[in-house]
Amino acid sequence: MSDKAIRKIVIVGGGTAGWMTAAPLAQKLGKACEIVLIESPEIGTVGVGEATLPTIRYYNQALGLDATDFIKKTQATFKLGTEFRDWGHAGNRFFHAFGNFGPMMENRPAYMYWLRLRRDVKGMPSYEEWSTADAMARAHRFVPPYGDQPSVTNSYSYGFQFDASLYAAYLRDYAVARGVTRIEGMVVDVEQHPETGFVTAVKLRDGRRFEGDLFVDCTGFRALLLEGVYKAGYEDWSAMLPCNSAQAMPCTNPDGPLVPYTRSTAQSAGWTWRIPLQHRMGNGHVYCDGFTTDAEATRVLEGVLEGEALDAPRQLRFTPGRRRKSWIKNCVGVGLSTGFIEPLESTSINMIEMTVGWIVQFFPDRDCSPALADEFNRLLSQRYEYIRDFIILHYKLTNRDDSEFWRYCRNMAVPDILQHQIDLFRESSRVAILDQQGFLEDSWVSILMGHGIFPEKNDPFIDLMDPGYLLDHFHKVRDSIRRAVGAMPDHAAFVKHVVSDDPPGRRAA
């Protein structure tokens, strides 16, 4: 290794962010670099994020985790997407699925042809009937995608719903087994080089001192290093994302099916989540304290519980936004220390995955080139803005006027580029995708049409297709989906077989 190679990494903070950082670094660096993670039992982790995007599977696979062991150890269930209730207007229901609305034709997405039929065919069924993931979710069925050729049996993806604290513990064991040293203690002081300003060591309350070449800030909202030492600054997005409070409250699993999806239900000043795990139900209420009180928020949360409460509500406060810089000198942030966007689309863990991936991609030597930091900061800031706009979309499109909160959301100003994306779809049926690693066309269409935004005009090439042929094609695809889903096992049964090491069909990966 080079004389300037990083020889020691100090990760300050544990939880999901800390251990998701430690695990891949330990795997890749091995004995070439010492890794120390410092966490304090006095500082609680947020750890309410239990639903994930499909990308979590690739993170797990990259670590070589055994899928069955992971599902057992984290009490995981499968997630095909998110069901939205009462968004847009009271009584509304739509599903943001991890998948498409049928195969492309003539290099045009299927939803465009559906829009043509909706215009010409009276009583055309919902576009969601051409989503395999949506059909599976409605029927409470699950198997992983299968088949080598594109078909309805592999036109969807899936993530997981798991206990975030168990996942952190699972990765802790993985990382420690690969040489990471876990230190328990409270950081009370940070030392810096007098000339370069680099962090040289952190000191604990008991007097212990830990030097390092690279420091990773996983201290959550406190951002002990990024903000406490470097005064990185914070870009506040509260005007466009007004929710700033949350309460989390687990309950027992209710009677009824174990559904393979997360549910989000709009409330008068925010929304509530419902996330089914093997051993309990995760529930929470995200809201704006400027439009309701904490006591009223608790009443709303308790009112949506479908099982017996297992704990009192846990109160959280946050400011939506991002750190202006997340890599400064030899300090890089991961997780909440870099920013926070509410968990409406399960993006928090995905942001950790992306951030750790960029740390690996731009891994420095002890000089910590400013150019590497600049590129990391550019990518991370850009990714936060892409996610921000996708989340704003859910609020801005509302037709609700039954509360001051929803009237504010409907009338609030949004970024120009997001307004362009909305206008482009409304006027032409086309979707502008700015982030090819994030939410793609079918996701945007799910939210736009789910809120009742249907284009005024269609792609002219769509009108060249024979309508009789189109209708026959759509009937065949829908019938294929129904047959495929009808042959799938119940989600609860599939989970049970996975954890008993005898899954029906294909084993989850």
The set of catalytic residues is 79
Give the list of residues 6+ apart from residue 233 with CB closer than 8 angstroms, or none: 227, 323, 324, 325
DSSP 6: -
Residues 6+ apart with CB under 8 A from 58: 353
* 96: β partners: 82
* Tokens 């304290």 belong to residue: 289
Question: DSSP characters for 427-440?
Answer: HHS------TTSS-
**Burial group, residue 409, by CB count within 10 angstroms (0-12, 13-18, 19+):** buried
Query: Count of CB atoms within 10 A of residue 399's CB?
Result: 13
Assign 138 to helix, strand or coil: helix
Count of CA atoms in the C-beta half-sphere (13 A) of 316: 26
Q: How many CB atoms lie within 10 A of CB 98?
A: 23
How many C-beta atoms lie closer than 10 Å to residue 208's C-beta?
A: 12
**Token output for 26:** 């330990």
Which stretches does DSSP call E strand in 73-186?
Answer: 77-79, 81-85, 93-97, 159-161, 181-184
Measure the CA angle with vertex 312, ends 309 and 316; round to 5°.
125
Residue 434 exposed, middle or buried by CB count within 10 Å (0-12, 13-18, 19+) = middle
Are 329 and 197 in contact, with CB atoms under 8 Å apart? yes
